[in-house]
Amino acid sequence: MQSTRVAILGVDVGGTFTDAVLLDGGRVRTAKVPTAERQEESVVAAARAVGAKTVERFAHGTTTATNALLERRGARTAYVGNAGFEHLLHLRRQTRAQLYRLCAQHPEPLVPLERCHGVRGRLGPGGELEPLGEIPDVGDVDAVAVCLLFSFRDPSHERTVAAELRRRHPGVHVVASHEVAPEFREYERASTTAADAYLAPVTARYLGALAEAARAAGLPEPLVMLSSGGVASVAEAAAHPATILVSGPAAGVVGAGIVARRAGYADAIAFDMGGTSTDVCLLPGGRAARVAERDLGGLPIRLPTVDLHTVGAGGGSLVRVDAGGAIRVGPESAGAHPGPACYGAGGGATVTDANLLLGRLPAELPGGLVLDRDAAAAALGGVDPAAVIDVVNAEMLRALRVVSVERGHDPRDFALVAFGGAGPLHACALAEDLGIGHVLVPEAAGVLSALGLVASERRRDRVESHVRRSRRSPCCRARARPISATGGSRSSSPSRCSPISPLRSTARTRSGTGTRTTRARSSSSPFAPPTSSPGLTCPCEAHPGTWYRGVSIWTGPPSGSPRAGAGRRTTTARWC
């Protein structure tokens, strides 16, 4: 399909290193450079290091938005909700942060109370209850998030509010919830919208600088990796930065999928064990499973995201023995400085030290770092290094089971793709425990995310909630067997369930933006949701007596793009 002369560049910015992969005339070249303070400079440096000259396509994974969220470096943001509901971001869902620590606080909301405003006017489930009132003064801010009740069904009030705010404050970034996540359940939608607005100015600044730097270096405009595992234009990503919060890890998952498919394995599990944390993701059919919502820094982000399960343990995780005599690993990490004890810089005992003592690491790392065995042994004290590995592997096993067994998949049918600094060290033991017969360690294990960028496809996610009473559904009567017969919510297949078809047509009618969609190719399509998402079930089995929620996700290149028509897919996903 593609000419072998086409050069494709992928650059992934991480916390410590920026990785580049160049696919040029069928050859793959890789490079690693230290990440600089200004990320765009390291991107260009990495591109130069890998020898990128005439590049046709340039894809990029970034942590700018994620870091800005976690470090709270986003814009001065205001929030506009319905009058009487203006504190929504501060009320959350009323659960406490920790069950048995009474004063543990949730992370502070992105918008402080004094910048939360209410507007009169109300939509209900059946339409307008009260006409829209006067739009409040949002004061001196850089961004505004607007989230009104039932806007997922009728965005008219939100549209008016957003338009008026844009008119009043031309320089201010205004996001309405229906533009970013037109989904049911107001708190999760508001939280997503607030994050989107909060991150927009800083992300737009970075992506603008990057596009400028790329142009100066003779590179094409970058495509940005989305949390959902596809790429979007700089303009799209800058408009809704909440969609790129898992950009880097998503690229790794895509890379793992490529490795698995190339090696001839249809189904794989990506296992990315880094220094401080580990990400696992199921890849049925070689493509990432997706979820509709993910928590980031304690804030729900309700957008399609590769179904990564993250564990707070990695190679650099510190090891200790608690009062009950149990070995605990993580979540504290030795980081890169001082690093594990064996780096000789005064660090504590880590998983890496245990691996060294077990003879699983060479005396000298490829970078020239000489590992200090005695320091490792001293730091671990009397703790058996094999026991440390067993404990950390138990954590990893739990994560692998969460994404496989708990989602109704038998891990024995999957290949384990191990990458990240520590992934390959642990993969075989984990595979044995799970009954997995094949472990793939890619040659580019260190730069797999950048490889994923090279191979990524254009993607646009659109999500809608449709809430119906399912007792009206003919499907329910036809399939009125007890839930217990299927062991709850996991073994049924929505592809056989009739109400999905009308829902699809609803979705098509409502698109209206020129993004035509097509039906899923078949139930065995790699994107078919039945095997790829937690809790997927026929709605009538989930809630025979009450309402249910359906969400359509469809993807494909934006209309008018040169590649329109390629890779267009429709899926109907996630019922609960």
Q: Is the peptide bond before 331 cis (omega within 30 degrees of 0)?
A: yes
Nearer to other proteins, 88 or 175 (CB): 88
**Closest approach of other proteins to the CB of residue 182, in Å:** 12
**Closest approach of other proteins to the CB of residue 200, in Å:** 25
**Closest approach of other proteins to the CB of residue 467, in Å:** 6
Helices (runs of H) and strands (runs of E) counted in the chain: 16, 26
**Closest approach of other proteins to the CB of residue 543, in Å:** 6
Task: Write the DSSP string, 259-304.
Answer: HHHHTT-SSEEEEEE-SS-EEEEEEGGGS--EES-EEETTEEE-S-
Applying CB under 8 A, among 76, 90, 159, 508 the residue interacting with other proteins is: 90
- CB-based burial of residue 373 (10 Å sphere; 0-12 exposed, 13-18 middle, 19+ buried)? middle
480 makes contact with other proteins (CB under 8 A): no
Where does this chain touch other proteins (CB under 8 A) — which range of 211-219, 356-364, 390-398, 447-455? Answer: 390-398
Applying CB under 8 A, among 326, 381, 514, 522 the residue interacting with other proteins is: 326
378 makes contact with other proteins (CB under 8 A): no
Longest dimension (CA), the chain: 74
User: Rounded to an integer, what distance in angstroms lies between the CA atom of residue 46 and that of residue 53?
Assistant: 12
Q: Indicate left, alpha or beta for 515 from its phi (over 0: left) and psi (-120 to 50: alpha).
A: beta
Where does this chain touch other proteins (CB under 8 A) — which range of 14-22, 146-154, 242-250, 500-508? Answer: 146-154
99 makes contact with other proteins (CB under 8 A): yes
Applying CB under 8 A, among 524, 547, 559, 566 the residue interacting with other proteins is: 547
505 makes contact with other proteins (CB under 8 A): no
397 makes contact with other proteins (CB under 8 A): yes
Residue 181's closest CA among 147, 232, 217, 157?
A: 147
482 makes contact with other proteins (CB under 8 A): yes
User: Rounded to an integer, what distance in angstroms lies between the CA atom of residue 227 and that of residue 241?
Assistant: 10
> Which stretches within 81-185 are classed as H helix?
88-91, 156-168, 177-180
- CB-based burial of residue 379 (10 Å sphere; 0-12 exposed, 13-18 middle, 19+ buried)? buried
542 makes contact with other proteins (CB under 8 A): yes
93 makes contact with other proteins (CB under 8 A): yes
Neighbours of 412 (CB within 10 A): 11
278 makes contact with other proteins (CB under 8 A): no
**Closest approach of other proteins to the CB of residue 101, in Å:** 5
576 makes contact with other proteins (CB under 8 A): yes
313 makes contact with other proteins (CB under 8 A): no
User: Rounded to an integer, what distance in angstroms lies between the CA atom of residue 492 and that of residue 483?
Assistant: 10
387 makes contact with other proteins (CB under 8 A): yes
Residues that bind other proteins (CB under 8 A): 84-88, 90-106, 113, 124-125, 129, 149-150, 152, 184-187, 322-327, 387, 390-391, 393-395, 397-398, 401-402, 406, 467, 482-484, 486-490, 535, 537, 541-547, 576
